[in-house]
Amino acid sequence: MARSVTTRRKTINTALAWAIGLLIFFPILWTILTSFKTEGQAISDPPVFLFFDWTLENYAIVQERSNYARFLWNSIIIAGGSTLLGVIIAVPAAWSMAFVPSKRTKDILLWMLSTKMLPAVGVLYPIYLIFIRMGLLDTRVGLVIVLMLINLPIIVWMLYTYFREIPGEILEAARMDGATLKEEILYVLTPMAVPGIASTLLLNFILAWNEAFWTLNLTAAKAGPLTAFIASYSSPEGLFYAKLSAASTMAIAPILILGWFSQKQLVRGLTFGAVK
């Protein structure tokens, strides 16, 4: 991309891109700023942008009133658990597809993807019923299982694309040198696969964290993660902007930070390798 451009053109590009970037980011910025205001300043007209009395009291109140920590913990368990479980199940599958491909590998991969396309609402009642029968409604275990299953196709797919980039010759060389299958996997394959596995974990953790159909429909008070915590603020009694902002900031901050690290993997993970 070594295109030479005039400084003037570069300046215009920069100004335009920053303006649009800030405009798109503004709702998030505004939410973060509002979370440090008092309720009065949060709805003041004209709005105050930076010059207000910064306060942390909203964060304390939100934690006290709705026990933010419990929802956060549920989110971590559900997103982390489902992602880990999914990767444990997907690694062997992706490994065998990448290194011992058969005629049907492609069909299996595409079929797995097709399960991801099943609209959740189409199977809402059966899942609901199964959850009631098995006592899984409003439990973290239940959500870990469901979110693992809805993300499993993406996890298998991502790992497959990463594993396929590992050259088979290296494995053969290791085998020639007398490495056993176990040594081959442990000392040769794993180190090379770690970056791919890490990116897969990261992206799917984010997807599970933000999932808002099953988490809203299958939880109540006990196992609700942050998506449900925020939805509870949609009732009129929750209409306090500063507190709403504090709650929102706490719900999105961890994932924004993780997301910035994973933006390169996003394309691969979400287009199933169709765009490179």
Partner 1 sequence: MATKASRSAARLMMAPAVVLLLGWMLVPLTMTIYFSFKKYLPLRGGDLGWVGFDNYARFLSSSSFWPSVQATLLIVGGVLAITVVFGVLLAMLLDQPMWGQGVVRILVIAPFFVMPTVSALVWKNMFMDPVNGLFAHLWKAVGAEPIAWLTEASLPSIIMIVSWQWLPFATLILLTAIQSLDSEQLEAAEMDGAPPLKRFGYIILPHLGRAITVVVLIQTIFLLSIFAEIFVTTQGSFGTKTLTYLIFQRVLESQNVGLGSAGGVYAIILANIVAIFLMRIVGKNLDA
Instruction: Give the footprint of partner 1 on residues 13-72 (CB under 8 A).
Output: 13-14, 16-18, 20-22, 24-25, 27-28, 30-31, 34, 43, 45-47
Q: Which is nearer to partner 1, 21 or 195 (CB)?
A: 21
Q: How far is the CB of 14 from partner 1 (least distance, A)?
A: 4
Q: Binding of partner 1 at residue 267 (CB under 8 A)?
A: yes
Q: DSSP class of residue 233?
A: G
CB 66 within 8 A of CB 247: yes
Q: Which is nearer to partner 1, 140 or 244 (CB)?
A: 244
Amino acid at site 31 = T
Q: Binding of partner 1 at residue 176 (CB under 8 A)?
A: no
How many binding residues for partner 1 (CB under 8 A)?
100
Q: How many CA atoms lie within 13 A of 109 on its CB side?
A: 20
Q: Mask of contacts with partner 1, 199-218, x by CB under 8 A? A: -------x--xx-xx--xx-
Please report, for residues 126, 134, 206, 207, the alpha-carbon distance to residue 140 in angstroms, rounded to integers and kept in the order given.
19, 13, 17, 17
Q: N- to C-terminal Cα distance for the chain? A: 16
Among 84, 166, 227, 246, binds partner 1 (CB under 8 A): 227
Binders of partner 1 among residues 100 to 159 (CB under 8 A) are: 100-102, 106, 108-110, 112-115, 117-130, 149, 152-153, 156
Of 92, 99, 120, the closest CA to residue 215 belongs to 120
Helical packing angle, 241-271 and 190-210, nearest 10°: 140
Candidate segments 50-58, 182-190, 192-200, 257-265, binder of partner 1 by CB under 8 A? 257-265
